[in-house]
Each structure stands twice: as structure tokens, then as C-alpha cells.
Amino acid sequence: MSPRLVPTGSDSTGRRDRPLRITVDGEPADGIEGQTLAGVLLASGRLAWRTGPSGAGRGAFCGIGVCFDCLVTVNGDRDVRACRRRAVDGDVVRTQSRTRPPAPPAPPARPGAQAEEGE
Ligand code: FES
């Protein structure tokens, strides 16, 4: 387990953890039953797991299902909010990217095109 998790022996609530394991882009990430996917991702040290249109990293922002910054693909379903989905042992999580592809090159200017526009 991650050092970010309070060990069961130190937790005053007396909880008993049932471990689970998911894969994130093929890498294993361990969590406990009841955690959201975002919780498992954060506890495994991941702060960003998606890229927005600008290429900037995104992860959990609001944590309550409002901002949609935490989207992942889970077992083939795209655009799942990681903060709203409970992790299930064996989930296959893929990170997503919304980066825009580079713009295609501009077509060559036609000779005399400026003169036509000015008419
Ligand atoms: S963190 Fe905002 S919707 Fe998931």
C-alpha cells in the first residue's frame, strides 16, 4: 500500500481493508475496496492522468463530479469521471488526451488573391 494511506492498524475507526488492484496504462495500482478510481490514482502518486487541449496535465480538481477534469477510460468506456467511479478489482484504466493535433499547413496563396479580396 501507498504511504498516503492510513494503515489499518493506525486507523481508529477499526476498518478492515480489502485490497484491490487496477491497471493504469498497463501499470498496476493498488487500492482498497471503497476507494474511487481517483483515490487509487492519487494514492499511487499520480497527480495528473489526462491532458487537456493545451497539453496541460489534468487530474482530480473538484473531486465531486462537476469539473470533468478527471476523465479516464475504464474497461473500454471513455469519459468516465474517476472521482465518481468506485474502483473494482481488475479495472483496466487508460488515460486520455484531448490535445489538439497540429494544424495542417496553410494552402499556398494564389497569385493575385489579395487583389480579388480588395475588389
Ligand atoms: S475531479 Fe472534477 S469531475 Fe472528477
Q: How far apart are the first and last CA of the chain?
A: 72
In a domain, 30, yes or no: yes
Q: What pTM was estimated for this model as a whole?
A: 0.76
Q: What is the DSSP string of 58-89?
A: E--SSSSSSS-TTEEEETTEEEEETTTSB--T
Instruction: Flag whether 9 is in a domain.
Output: no
**What would the pLDDT profile of 30-42 be if each residue is shown by its tens digit?**
999 999 999 999 9
**Residue of minimum CA distance from atom 3 in ligand 1:** 65
Provide the residue range defining the domain that includes 55: 19-97
Q: What is the distance in A from the centroid of ligand 1 to the CA of 66?
A: 5
Ligand 1 atom at minimum distance from 65 CA: 3
Residue 39 lies in a domain: yes
Q: Is residue 27 part of a domain?
A: yes
For residue 7, is it within any domain?
Answer: no
Q: What is the CATH number of the domain that holds 48?
A: 3.10.20.440
At residue 49, does pLDDT exceed 70? yes
Q: What is the CA(33)–ligand 1 centre distance, in A?
A: 20
11 within some domain = no
Q: How many domains does the chain have?
A: 1
Close Cβ partners of 32 (under 8 Å, ≥ 6 residues apart) = 1, 5, 17, 18, 19, 20
Q: Does 89 map to a domain?
A: yes
Residues 70-117: pLDDT tens digits? 999 999 999 999 999 999 999 999 999 887 777 788 888 887 766 555
Ligand 1 centre to CA of 84 (Å) is 8
Res. 2: pLDDT tops 60: no
Euclidean distance between CA atoms 29 and 38, whole angstroms: 11
- Indicate whether 119 belongs to any domain: no
